[in-house]
């Protein structure tokens, strides 16, 4: 059993090494000028081995994308009602944690790279769409929304708080403050 733990630790270290090398290369040359072969060479692995760790080059940058979604799903699983006011309170508590100084830094090791690279901006839109889809499914499954349209609208609103914070490089609480003003009435 100890050897399994050691193998997992070695894989974790190698994964971090690949991420570190990729981010360094992206910083030095630009995202578009770095290939998966370049990352593999810098990490002392075969290109084929790179794909055992990451399915695509952009997956290296988006390695943490599931962390925030998991937290949002965990929030919904508490079955808050009404959802929006409970969400506002949850996001404010979430933002007070030291580890959440910036939403972008929760998601990416190098948010500036994502903001500056069109291909990564496109990938970011795909990520947010995936978040909305998953959250809408949970809203329906947990009977927090009466119908699919309302679930999709509310899921979009939940994601928008974080999306705008990342896009505009704002604190999530600043986005919340704007969304909770009278010009944006609650959905649910």
Pair (102, 165) in one structural domain:
yes
H or E element at residue 118: helix 118-141
Pair (110, 143) in one structural domain:
yes
Phi, psi of 170 (to 5 degrees): -110, 160
pLDDT tens digits along 42-95: 999 999 999 999 999 999 999 988 999 999 999 999 999 899 999 999 999 988
Residue 185 lies in a domain: no
Residue 100 lies in a domain: yes
Residue 50's Cβ-count burial label (10 Å; 0-12, 13-18, 19+) is buried
Predicted confidence (pLDDT) at residue 1 exceeds the cutoff of 60: no
Please give the model's pTM, rounded to 2 decimal places.
0.86
- Give the number of domains in the chain: 2
Residue 188 lies in a domain: no
Q: Are 46 and 88 in contact (CB under 8 A)?
A: no
Distance CA 158, CA 150 (A): 12
Residue 104: what pLDDT?
79
Predicted confidence (pLDDT) at residue 101 exceeds the cutoff of 70: no
pLDDT tens digits along 9-51: 999 999 999 999 999 999 999 999 999 999 999 999 999 999 9
Predicted confidence (pLDDT) at residue 100 exceeds the cutoff of 70: no
Pair (88, 136) in one structural domain:
yes
Distance CA 45, CA 17 (A): 11
- Encoding tokens for residue 131? 């978040």
- Residue 97 structural domain: 65-179
Distance CA 35, CA 57 (A): 8
Residue 185: what pLDDT?
56
Residue 186 lies in a domain: no
Residue 108 lies in a domain: yes
H or E element at residue 50: helix 47-53
Residue 184 lies in a domain: no
Pair (75, 128) in one structural domain:
yes
Give the domain CATH number at 51: 1.10.10.60
H or E element at residue 104: helix 103-107
Distance CA 144, CA 22 (A): 41
């Amino acid at each position: 059993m100890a050897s399994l733990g050691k193998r997992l630790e070695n894989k974790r270290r190698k994964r971090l090494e690949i991420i570190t090398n990729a981010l360094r290369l992206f910083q030095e040359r630009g995202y578009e000028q770095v290939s998966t072969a370049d990352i593999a060479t810098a990490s002392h692995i075969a290109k084929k081995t790179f794909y055992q760790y990451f399915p695509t080059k952009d997956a290296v940058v988006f390695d943490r994308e599931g962390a925030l979604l998991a937290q949002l799903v965990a929030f919904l699983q508490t079955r808050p009602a009404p959802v929006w006011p409970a969400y506002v309170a949850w996001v404010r508590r979430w933002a007070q944690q030291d580890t959440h100084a910036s939403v972008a830094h929760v998601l990416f090791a190098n948010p500036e790279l994502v903001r500056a690279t069109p291909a990564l901006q496109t990938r970011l839109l795909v990520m947010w769409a995936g978040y909305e889809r998953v959250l809408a499914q949970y809203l329906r499954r947990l009977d927090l929304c009466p119908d699919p349209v309302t679930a999709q609208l509310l899921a979009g609103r939940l994601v928008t708080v974080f999306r705008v914070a990342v896009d505009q490089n704002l604190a999530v609480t600043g986005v919340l403050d704007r969304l909770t003003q009278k010009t944006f009435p609650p959905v649910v």
